[in-house]
Amino acid sequence: MDNRVVAIDGPAGAGKSTIARLLADRIKYTYIDSGAMYRALTLKVLDSSINIADTKEIIEISKEVDIDFMDKCIYLDGKVVDKQIREERINKNVSIIAAIPDVRKNIVRIQRRISIGKNVVMDGRDVGTVIFPNAFIKFFITASLEERAMRRCAEIEASGMSVDLQDIKCQIEKRDYTDSTREDSPLMQAEDAILIDTSGKSIEEVLQVVINFINLRGGDINAI
């Protein structure tokens, strides 16, 4: 049987990575976070002397960068950078870098390469539309802006920092706008993706909905 891809796309903070991780564990697939790769590249750019507006240099870096995703960890040049890629400076700059078409070409190549020979659950913005248009099943997971901002605030507060809901809302709105209006592979629901609004739903509820759809699709997936 061919290797299978479960594609999970959606806007920032909709809960797709939480669902994708849990789903991958449940069905014994490999989880791949496609956004972590754009974040890792952004980290490399910000830690170098390159100007964030220097598109040409950023494209050069994206050609040679060593990015990998193994055992739910993101590697940049051989080092785990899970913590660093979640810093505010990355949140603020990643969508600028992810909007550069030649950067996307290089990152999509990595995303496809590391999925070869595996059954994967991959989450992102263009998994079902660009990276794997023939995915076995596609989901588009979303939630209201209010709810996404509140979840993000709760996450930040849980890590001991204080945060302003309005600031977070503006930040998410800005990122949504950049991601969905860029010319190359904008954030959008694939025609054949199943839309799930997670507003007011628990993680377990959403996970069950996703699993039910996979079963309906005839996924002879073990452990469901």
| Per-residue binding letters, 7-46, with ligand DC (x by CB under 6 A) | -----x---------------------xx--xx-------
**Least distance CB 108 / ligand DC (angstroms):** 8
124 counts as binding ligand DC under rule CB under 6 A: yes
Cross-strand bridge partners of residue 142: 197
Task: Please name the residue that has the structure tokens 């998410």.
Answer: 172
How many chain residues interact with ligand DC (CB under 6 A)? 14
At 99, give phi and psi (nearest 5°): -90, -5
> Is residue 94 a contact residue for ligand DC (CB under 6 A)?
yes
Q: Are 84 and 47 in contact (CB under 8 A)?
A: no
Quick one: 131 or 194, whose CB is closer to ligand DC? 131
List the one residue out of 82, 76, 70 whose CA is nearest residue 118: 70
Return the number of the residue (11 or 27) whose C-beta is nearest ligand DC: 11
Binding track over 126-145 against ligand DC, x by CB under 6 A:
xx------------------
| Residue closer to ligand DC (CB basis): 137 or 221 | 137
Interacting span for ligand DC (CB under 6 A) from 20-28, 44-52, 93-101, 143-151: 93-101
Out of 30, 95, 115, 198, name the contact with ligand DC by CB under 6 A.
95
Q: Supply the DSSP symbol for 118.
A: S
Q: Are the C-beta atoms of 92 and 84 separated by less than 8 Å?
A: no
- Residue holding tokens 């790769």? 37
* Euclidean distance between CA atoms 154 and 135, whole angstroms: 33
Q: Does 114 bind ligand DC (CB under 6 A)?
A: no
Residues within the interface to ligand DC (CB under 6 A): 12, 34-35, 38-39, 94-95, 98, 124-127, 175, 179
